[in-house]
Structure 1
Amino acid sequence: MIMGLNQRRRWVLDVKSVVMLGLGLLFAMAQHTVQLRSNHPMHGIVDRVNEIGGPYIGLVMAYPPEESALITSRLFVHNSRIPFIDLAGRRFNVGKIKNVDVIYVMTGEQTVNSGITVQILLDAFDIRGVVHYGTAGSSNNSLSFGDVSVMKYVAFTGSWKWKAFKSETGQLPELDFGAFNFPVRGKNLLAKVEFTPSQLYSAGKPMEELFWLPVDSEWFDIATQLQDLELRRCLNDTYCLPERPKVIVGLRGSTADIFLDNAAYREFLFKQFNVSTVDEESAAIVMACLSNAVPSIVFRGVSDLGGGSDRLLSISRISLASINALRVAAEFIALIDKNNLVHDQ
């Protein structure tokens, strides 16, 4: 009898263990696949999108001319059954690029808009990775109009600790305003700012402080195959660049909620951080993807010089930079599909 009782106890304990393990797995799966709340009016349609296609490549851009480049290219073909879904004021377009399932969305400008939009994209849809393309200012004199940077790292350089007047030099990079007094350098009551790292939160890991946010290493390696891709030199019959633009890989980028049009700060960013492009969204998009363990890549076309020698902000240059960045992004999407690269989530 005692042996039978012990066996029953062990059996009950084993069943409890199995049940707890199953509940734990279900909870983990629910956390990973969480989507819209059940009473959201678009919940059923979102589920339908995830059933009829995917996993999708998320394609994001921030600025209307960047979306216009995609529309006029006719690369994107809308899904005939559910061509788009509107969520939180954003339109998520469902379709294909080069026969690859894609959902594209324009985030709006600056970091808050772009970060929120990417999080909605990842929460609602079955996304295998995020491709971001757009325009950027150049802080590197070796880059020319229309060139496309495939950055390897991006930093959010708009996070500062504003230090007291005559404060000691710290361990982190600093911008001393007195060094830019004109005509004579000296002290400045604005003192200096210290550039601070970003706080990265991700599932199953402690918070990390990172200054340089990496794009996905495997996706970056695939993107290196595009270095010889031919880009457009002419927008139309009346506007052409003096030289054919090129694809440059492995550069660093800078993101801040600032439109840079200042030669001194442009030079400072390049000398201090060795960044080649400046924009207002890339770091937020990469960080959202890192937090969700989703691969990301960034392609930025040079549309201006960030306050450098040629300060003219030309619509033609913006359009051409958008077209070239899109071209690289579209070819990358085709490469990803060819390589059939799937990350373990």
Structure 2
Amino acid sequence: MPSGEPGRLDVVPRVAVVSAFEPELALLLAQVQQPRRYSVQGVEFTTGTLGGRPVVLFLSGISMVNAAMNTQRALDLFQVTHIVFSGIAGGVNPQLHIGDVSVPAQWGQYLEVLAARETSPGVYAPPSRMGELPFAPFGMFYPRPVDVVSAAQPKPRKQFWFAVDAGMLAAARVLQSGGAVTLADCDAARRCLRHAPRLAVGGNGVSGASFMDNAALRQYTFSTFAANVIDMETAATAQVAASNGVPYIAFRSLSDLAGGGEGENEMKLFLSLAAENSARVVTAFLQTWKP
């Protein structure tokens, strides 16, 4: 394997393109030119060119620990200059619909919580020594920030929101305003959406180690964090990116409404369509973005 410095599999500066599981990444992998594959502790990394740009693609794995672990692994093994996450998500903003692609400006971990003591039936009180907790609780659960350190800021500080890179977000806004990306409104089985899908740039996203299919928690998440979408990986990757000083952005297409739909959860029905829309936007982004 080529190596220009200890531990590196490849020294070409590359954009890391990440998805949580295979159906999300397959459409992008199929477009990679001159692919070369590396397998490290069961994780497959593919280098090559996508959208005219050197990339390394890999699966983070589902949920927060996998996402953090494999994002850091990629940063250690490759010369990663930027991180782009592509995949599906649950929609929590009532103004967004299945098939839309959301590109939040910042991400937080909504399930990083303090479980408060029940002092009387239905009444919960966090310990006074915990200091100020910045968000309204959901029952006993009080969301709280995490302690963050980095080489640039080695002193621990508390942080909830992890902002995406401003330049990458601006490039996504150009895509949004230019209407250069056509999003799919029907899948291969001719299952079609009720609303024409759109690209929505800005706002908040949240992540946590839970698949959400609950209307009450969905409403809480929207009203408390002003979140557009919810997933199980991006905020973990965002914290790793911040710790390493690597710019990142995430494109998440709605496959379901996180418990806000009229019937059974919609993810299995619209997974392929949502993954395709996210991949279309990511490909266009890589083609037009100028770092």
Structure 1-normalised TM-score?
Answer: 0.75
User: Residues 34 and 265 from structure 1, CA distance in 2 versus in 1: closer, same or farther, beyond 3 angstroms?
Assistant: farther
3-state SS of 2:282 partner: helix
The match for 2:129 is none
Structure number, greater radius of gyration: 1
Give the one of 6, 21, 24 matched to 1:63. Answer: 21
The match for 1:251 is 203
The separation in 2 between residues aligned to 1:237 and 1:163, in whole angstroms, is 47
Which structure ranks higher in relative contact order (CA pairs < 8 Å, sequence separation ≥ 6)?
Answer: 2
The answer to which of 314-323 and 89-98 deviates more is: 314-323
Matched, 1:195 2:135: no
Give, in angstroms, the shift of residue 208 of structure 1.
Answer: 2.2
The separation in 2 between residues aligned to 1:99 and 1:272, in whole angstroms, is 40
3-state SS of 2:230 partner: strand
CA RMSD of aligned residues (A): 1.8
Q: How does 1:41-56 map to 2 (within 5 A)?
A: 46=9, 49-50=10-11, 54-56=12-14
Give the one of 136, 139, 152 matched to 1:174. Answer: 136
Letter in 1 for 2:202: G
The separation in 2 between residues aligned to 1:233 and 1:128, in whole angstroms, is 33
Encode CA deviations 1:211-248: one digit per residue, 9 max, x unaligned.
Answer: 11111111111111111232111212622213321000
Runs of at least 5 residues in structure 2 that lack an aligned partner in the other structure: 127-131
Give, in angstroms, the shift of residue 70 of structure 1.
Answer: 2.5
Give, in angstroms, the shift of residue 126 of structure 1.
Answer: 1.0
Q: How does 1:1-345 map to 2 (within 5 A)?
A: 35-36=6-7, 46=9, 49-50=10-11, 54-71=12-29, 74-79=30-35, 83-166=36-119, 167-168=124-125, 171-177=133-139, 192-205=140-153, 206-227=155-176, 228=179, 229-236=181-188, 238-310=190-262, 311-336=264-289, 339=290, 341=291
- Structure number having the greater helix percentage: 1
Letter in 1 for 2:214: N
Are the equivalent residues in 2 in contact too, given 1:77–1:95 (CA < 8 A)? yes
Give, in angstroms, the shift of residue 176 of structure 1.
Answer: 4.4
User: Residues 200 and 34 from structure 1, CA distance in 2 versus in 1: closer, same or farther, beyond 3 angstroms?
Assistant: farther
3-state SS of 1:174 partner: coil
Structure 2-normalised TM-score?
Answer: 0.89
Are the equivalent residues in 1 in contact too, given 2:258–2:265 (CA < 8 A)? no
The separation in 1 between residues aligned to 2:136 and 2:67, in whole angstroms, is 27
Encode CA deviations 1:302-327: one digit per residue, 9 max, x unaligned.
Answer: 00000012333343411111111111
The separation in 1 between residues aligned to 2:125 and 2:190, in whole angstroms, is 55
Letter in 2 for 1:75: Q
Are the equivalent residues in 2 in contact too, given 1:65–1:319 (CA < 8 A)? yes
The answer to which of 230-239 and 265-274 deviates more is: 230-239
Letter in 1 for 2:116: K
Give, in angstroms, the shift of residue 143 of structure 1.
Answer: 0.6
> Where do 4+ consecutive residues of structure 1 move more than 3 Å?
167-171
User: Residues 35 and 110 from structure 1, CA distance in 2 versus in 1: closer, same or farther, beyond 3 angstroms?
Assistant: farther
3-state SS of 2:217 partner: helix
- Structure number having the greater strand percentage: 2
Letter in 1 for 2:162: L
The match for 1:186 is none
Are the equivalent residues in 2 in contact too, given 1:261–1:306 (CA < 8 A)? yes
